[in-house]
Structure 1
Amino acid sequence: MSVWGKLFTAVRGGVNEAAEAAADTQALRILDQEIRDAENSLRKARSDLAGIMASAKQLARRIAEAKEKEARDMESARAAMQAGREDLARGLAERISKLRGDIQRDEGEYERMQTSQQQMMRAVQDTEHRLQQMRREVENVKANESLIKAQSAIAHSQSGVNSKLGNAMDSLERIRKRQDDTRGRIEAGAELAALESGSDLDRQLLEAGIGGKSSSADDVLAQIMGGSSQPSIGASRDPLSIERKGE
């Protein structure tokens, strides 16, 4: 294949793809229009069927009337023969023969009309059934299309929410890190201030049990059970009282 032929084939392929894409986009609208066209054709078929049925009924009445007339002419012909009027009987016989020919022809036409009528009735019923089935399928497709659009919108919204939540979590993590850094700086500043004022050394002595007096409830209870009272904090003992107690 030449280069121009390949290019022409590529252009045709692009046109077909564009046409198929447009058809897919308008698929539901096209399907609705096709159903409306089918319904219009079905209404015309029903109208034609009604005309055939009316013609068949008229033909059936004409056949019945012709048979009744044939029966009357037969009686009249018998009466004419009994009366010796063979000429009248022959005239009636000729008319009966013609009626029978008309009846035979009309009966054949009536049978053909009945066959056509039954075929059309089956076709109309089958078309009605197919149209009802297609309407249900179209409703299902429309419902699925709406559901898919809703799910797509939800998925798109959820994607945006997840992205926003991810950004919010990143911001929260940065805030926590900044707070930890600030808290660390504050604690370090307090420790430096304690070292400079000497209060940190006093705290460490108290924690080691060196210096100071404990005034916990257990210590007070132990003093009560021992019958002694707690001396005042920072008060020194009298050496004379100590000496008298020793005597």
Structure 2
Amino acid sequence: MSVWGKLFSAVRGGVNEVAESAADTQALRILDQEIRDADTALRRARSDLAGIMATTKVLARRIEEAKAKEAKDMDSARAAMSAGREDLARGLADRISAARAEIGRDQAEHDRLQAQQGQMIRAVQDTETRIQTMRREVDGVKANESLLKAQSAIASSHAGVNSRLGSAMESLERVKKRQEMTAGRIQAGAEMQALESGSDLDRALLEAGIGGNRASSDDVFAELTRIDRTPALPGSAGQNLQIGHNRDR
């Protein structure tokens, strides 16, 4: 692959990474919005379910009342037949027939709504579970994202601190070496000064005729004279020398 091809692939890879990062960032917002939409739909579903449940109860109560009235009309119709009042029995029979038709329609509607109510209850419960699961997953992803950002920040800060500490330690070592060098120079200068001061003092002493090993010719001659004039002890080598000298004379 040519250099331009590699460069193009690298740029394309970087663009893809940026696009994926942007998509991932938007994904959390999209999920939050979907959860809010699901909550809104769930509230509407609960409201509709509450209406269906109310209608079902009304129908159940109306059916129960209609059946009670039907039973009463049947008793009345039987009594009318026993009393020979077929006309009354006929009227009650017509009313009972209409009531039964009405009860049949209400019962069918009640059964339909009750089945729908069961389906909606299951759907609402399933939706609630899914929303709770999605919310927990989104919260977990957000928490992990925050944790990763914090860890990345800490890692970057730690690396920067290590780098700064490394530079500081290097500077500290340079300062120590410079201080040691300066202290060495000061000590060497003091020693040199002491040596130079000692030499000057010895030279001054010599010039004053104090101390030192050097002796002038006058000093040596004075020393010889003192030795020659010293009286010899009896029996000493000096007396023998004097006797011999006299004999020769």
Q: For 1:84, give the aligned amino acid.
A: G
From the superposition, tell whether residues 16 and 84 of structure 1 become closer, same or farther in structure 2 (CA, over 3 Å).
farther
Paired position in structure 2 for 1:63 = 63
Distance 1:162 1:145 in 2: 25
Q: Deviations over 1:52-110 (max 9, x none)?
A: 11111121122112112211210121111111122332332233223223222322221
From the superposition, tell whether residues 142 and 17 of structure 1 become closer, same or farther in structure 2 (CA, over 3 Å).
closer
Q: For 1:23, give the aligned amino acid.
A: A
| Structure 2 gap ranges (5+) | 1-12, 203-249
Paired position in structure 2 for 1:78 = 78
Distance 1:121 1:14 in 2: 49
CA-CA distance at 1:33 after TM superposition = 1.2
Paired position in structure 2 for 1:47 = 47
Q: Deviations over 1:121-151 (max 9, x none)?
A: 1211222233233333333333333222222
Confirm whether residue 175 of structure 1 aligns to residue 183 of structure 2.
no
Q: Secondary structure at the match of 1:26?
A: helix
Distance 1:33 1:167 in 2: 49
Q: For 2:96, give the aligned amino acid.
A: I
Distance 2:107 2:133 in 1: 39
CA-CA distance at 1:194 after TM superposition = 4.6
Paired position in structure 2 for 1:205 = none
Q: Deviations over 1:147-186 (max 9, x none)?
A: 2222222222222211111111111111122122223333
Distance 2:71 2:147 in 1: 73
Q: For 1:90, give the aligned amino acid.
A: R
Q: For 2:89, give the aligned amino acid.
A: A
Paired position in structure 1 for 2:88 = 88
Paired position in structure 2 for 1:100 = 100
Confirm whether residue 185 of structure 1 aligns to residue 181 of structure 2.
no
Paired position in structure 1 for 2:247 = none
Paired position in structure 2 for 1:22 = 22
From the superposition, tell whether residues 16 and 127 of structure 1 become closer, same or farther in structure 2 (CA, over 3 Å).
farther
TM-score using structure 2 length:
0.66
Distance 2:182 2:138 in 1: 65
In the TM superposition, what are the counterparts of 1:94-243 in structure 2 within 5 Å? Answer: 94-197=94-197
Q: For 1:94, give the aligned amino acid.
A: D
From the superposition, tell whether residues 61 and 15 of structure 1 become closer, same or farther in structure 2 (CA, over 3 Å).
farther
Q: Secondary structure at the match of 2:116?
A: helix
From the superposition, tell whether residues 160 and 18 of structure 1 become closer, same or farther in structure 2 (CA, over 3 Å).
closer
Q: Secondary structure at the match of 1:84?
A: coil
RMSD after superposition:
2.8
CA-CA distance at 1:18 after TM superposition = 6.0
From the superposition, tell whether residues 167 and 20 of structure 1 become closer, same or farther in structure 2 (CA, over 3 Å).
closer
Q: For 2:99, give the aligned amino acid.
A: L
Q: Which has the higher Rg, Structure 1 or Structure 2?
A: 2
CA-CA distance at 1:119 after TM superposition = 1.5
From the superposition, tell whether residues 195 and 29 of structure 1 become closer, same or farther in structure 2 (CA, over 3 Å).
same
Q: Secondary structure at the match of 2:84?
A: coil
From the superposition, tell whether residues 19 and 86 of structure 1 become closer, same or farther in structure 2 (CA, over 3 Å).
farther
Q: For 2:133, give the aligned amino acid.
A: Q
Q: For 2:156, give the aligned amino acid.
A: H
TM-score using structure 1 length:
0.66
